[in-house]
Structure 1
Amino acid sequence: MTEFIPPGSRFLTLDAPLPMKRGGALHGARIAYETWGALSPRGDNAILILTGLSPDAHAARHAGNPAPGWWEAMLGPGKPIDTDRWYVVCVNSLGSCKGSTGPATPDPATGEPYRLRFPELSIEDVADAAARVIDALGIARLACVIGNSMGGMSALAFLLRHPGRARAHINVSGAARALPFSIAIRSLQREAIRLDPNWNEGRYDDARYPESGMRMARKLGVITYRSALEWDGRFGRVRLDSDRRDDEDPFGLEFEVESYLEGHARRFVRNFDPNSYLYLSRSMDWFDIGESCGGDTAAGLAAIRIERALAIGVHTDILFPLQQQEEIADGLRAGGADARFLPLESPQGHDAFLVDIGRFGPAVRGFLDAL
């Protein structure tokens, strides 16, 4: 069991128990975060970034860690999220293995990793943990909450459960609820991990790690993160050179796209805890902002009170399809927000917000410049 904590991370250890939505509480929980820029004397320039399933809090380089972050092109001096103006806080999700307390973290009561003794995790718990960080930093009201992918869910939960804590919101390829297709994909990913004999009901270690299950789960994920248009344009039907094929395996890798998926999966599997993957994935499936309104998603969104909002998505996203960002904008507008829906034409699918900064950057910059 391993945690993967980036250098330069900061930590908040909670003095008070953190109640979990589905029961139980975490005692002495630790939340990892990183910051950029400086808080203004009035404390009115803070932005909170909530991440997708796998990223850590290291969204961009800083003095404590000069390595490029996962949103390096978006965040920094003079960039769309301009740290010369904004004080930016990025929080690693509760339940992750990248610094915040999760299944790979030692349980203070036993000294052993929580594993499957970790309480059932909900998106709402991720939001509440992030709110504790904002409280500890002395930020009374955020200028904006930005959420990407799963972080878009976490951001909506934050705004609903902590009213008055933010003026504005940017939802990037996010959703107000999980749809059947996304649930089905994540269900298969979890099944692949659990059927690996090395998973052993969550009792694995570095010597007996469910590598095959994690490889399959990651491949399934990567396939849905990009679009068919990009797969075709990037790889076509190009076959591997003979020296890159295993002629002794009659069903081995044959196409460039297969090799890409295999390489991507192998780089991921030993850098993420399988139990954390299971918990975070399931939290997304459970999420519906309308749960507190009798399952009425539109009513849940309309219950959020903010001044301005921007919901961005792309036409080629099959995991968080474009109608979900439109639903967010419509719902927030019904609640009184000046909410805008922005569909983009990027060919790069769900992951476009990570790589197509040429399209996403101006949209984010324009919204923040107007705050």
Structure 2
Amino acid sequence: MNAARKILKLDRPFEMHRGGTLQGVEIAYETWGDPAHRGDNAILIFTGLTPSAHAASSESDPSPGWWEDMIGPGRPIDTRRFFVICVNSLGSPFGSTSPVSINPATGRAYRLTFPVLTVEDIAHAGHEVVVSLGIEKLLAVVGPSLGGMTVLAYCALFPGAARSVVSISAAARSLPFAIALRSLQREIIRRDSAWREGDYAADAIPVEGMRLARKLGMITYRSAKEWGLRFGRERADLQRRPGDPFGIDFEVESYLENHAEKFTGQYDPNCYLYISRAMDLFDLADHGGSVNEALRRFTVERALVIGVETDLLFPIEQQQELAEGLAAGGREVTFVRLPSLQGHDSFLVDMDRFRPVIAEFLGSM
């Protein structure tokens, strides 16, 4: 049984982790599988930075989801066996309360009056959905990238709420390289004259800032080795515009341009700023004094930690830190190093490696 996208609207104030309160919070989510399983076989999925809650197709929305090859009948997250929930992050523009939402106190969009957003707030919003569905304990909480950070926050904030955890290409905190990268992306957006201190019109967003921020992100989402094997020094077929002596020469430039064009207009710039900063602010050590102590306090029984050897944003050593910390706390831990060429984005594209690992872990539960 597949359910349509739903919206949970809270009838009480939502207290933000770093201060501030939101009224009338809405949290968008989608579900797959038989709700009868939700009492003992529910899986909660948190997304990366930019996806919506549409992780897989359904009868109500047959369009492919961002994790289409992972969720569904006969797939690793098997909807014949599991009741699956994917939550749209608080702060994201795809249905959950965010900077583009109307502030009920003013009747205008929040924009930069939106409170500081944290990974803990995203985890809290996800837990509200779980509680609203009558689920007392999840079989597993799963997430890649930002979603993996949110999984860690969820376990820290809500002990006893999940039996197992699956952390994919995530970390207990961002390293200086990742912080520097995202900081520059945010500055690029804010330096665009169309940003107007966040007060841009819907039809006049800071397009150039978003394009350049996306290109910079795409460069780091994949590995240098993959760029070399995939594009080499192949020349682009595009004709150069008259009067543009420094236009696109190479196929890799054309690839980045196409991805930037597709992204622009799909994601609100202010939302991007808020969620990007949330990744930088997160530090699991805030929940125990140190990362190891925070992990030791987790109450999950089992954990799967997956890292990719070519990941620039969350290096494999950070996945190993999570695995070792969880094991030191007495958890049954499976740590998998994957040699995928696609870097941080491997969990979206290298399905031949990721599917068997996740299928084996969930299949043994």
Q: Same fold (TM over 0.5)?
A: yes
User: For 1:198-277, what aligned pairs fall within 5 Å after superposition?
Assistant: 198-241=194-237, 243-277=238-272
Aligned to 1:279: 274
Deviation by residue 1:220-260 (Cα, 9 ceiling, x = unmatched): 1111110011111111111113x532252011111110111
Tell me, what secondary structure is at the counterpart of 1:181?
helix
Aligned to 2:82: 86
User: For 1:110-129, what aligned pairs fall within 5 Å after superposition?
Assistant: 110-129=106-125
Aligned to 2:46: 50
1:172 and 2:139 matched: no
- CA distance in 1 between counterparts of 2:195 and 2:71 reads 37
TM-score relative to the length of structure 1: 0.96
Query: Residue type matched to 1:144 in 2?
Result: A
Displaced runs of 4 or more, over 2 A: 39-42, 243-248
Q: CA deviation at 1:335?
A: 1.8
- Counterparts in 2 of 1:124 and 1:275: CA distance versus 1, 3 Å: same
Query: Residue type matched to 2:107 in 1?
Result: G
- CA distance in 1 between counterparts of 2:329 and 2:298 reads 6
- 2:358 corresponds, among 356, 359, 364, to 364
Tell me, what secondary structure is at the counterpart of 2:217?
helix
Contact 2:47 2:87 in 1 (8 A): yes
Aligned to 2:140: 144
Q: CA deviation at 1:302?
A: 1.4
- CA distance in 2 between counterparts of 1:334 and 1:14 reads 38
Contact 1:124 1:158 in 2 (8 A): yes
Query: Residue type matched to 1:364 in 2?
Result: I
Aligned to 2:337: 343
Query: Residue type matched to 1:229 in 2?
Result: K
Query: Residue type matched to 1:358 in 2?
Result: D
Tell me, what secondary structure is at the counterpart of 2:8?
strand
Tell me, what secondary structure is at the counterpart of 1:263?
helix
Tell me, what secondary structure is at the counterpart of 1:33?
strand
Aligned to 1:320: 314
Query: Residue type matched to 1:19 in 2?
Result: E
1:69 and 2:40 matched: no
Once structures 1 and 2 are overlaid, which stretch shifts more, 331-340 or 34-43?
Answer: 34-43
Contact 1:305 1:335 in 2 (8 A): no
- CA distance in 2 between counterparts of 1:93 and 1:327 reads 26
Once structures 1 and 2 are overlaid, which stretch shifts more, 319-328 or 69-78?
Answer: 319-328
Contact 2:156 2:287 in 1 (8 A): no
Tell me, what secondary structure is at the counterpart of 1:343?
strand
Q: CA deviation at 1:42?
A: 7.3
Query: Residue type matched to 1:267 in 2?
Result: K
Deviation by residue 1:61-109 (Cα, 9 ceiling, x = unmatched): 0011000000000100001110000000000000000111000111111
Aligned to 1:4: none
- CA distance in 2 between counterparts of 1:275 and 1:251 reads 30
1:301 and 2:295 matched: yes
| Alignment gaps of 5+ in structure 1 | 1-6
Query: Residue type matched to 2:325 in 1?
Result: G
Task: Provide the aligned C-alpha RMSD in A.
Answer: 1.2
- CA distance in 1 between counterparts of 2:15 and 2:328 reads 31
- 1:197 corresponds, among 182, 189, 193, to 193
- Report how many aligned residue pairs link the two structures: 363
TM-score relative to the length of structure 2: 0.97
Contact 1:39 1:45 in 2 (8 A): no
- CA distance in 2 between counterparts of 1:61 and 1:121 reads 29
Contact 1:48 1:89 in 2 (8 A): yes
Query: Residue type matched to 1:283 in 2?
Result: A
Q: CA deviation at 1:292?
A: 3.0
User: For 1:34-45, what aligned pairs fall within 5 Å after superposition?
Assistant: 34-40=30-36, 43-45=39-41
Contact 1:246 1:253 in 2 (8 A): no
User: For 1:24-43, what aligned pairs fall within 5 Å after superposition?
Assistant: 24-40=20-36, 43=39
Contact 2:38 2:83 in 1 (8 A): no
Q: CA deviation at 1:57?
A: 0.2
Identity of aligned residues (%): 56
Q: CA deviation at 1:278?
A: 0.3
- 1:154 corresponds, among 129, 150, 153, to 150
Contact 2:37 2:82 in 1 (8 A): no
Tell me, what secondary structure is at the counterpart of 1:82?
coil
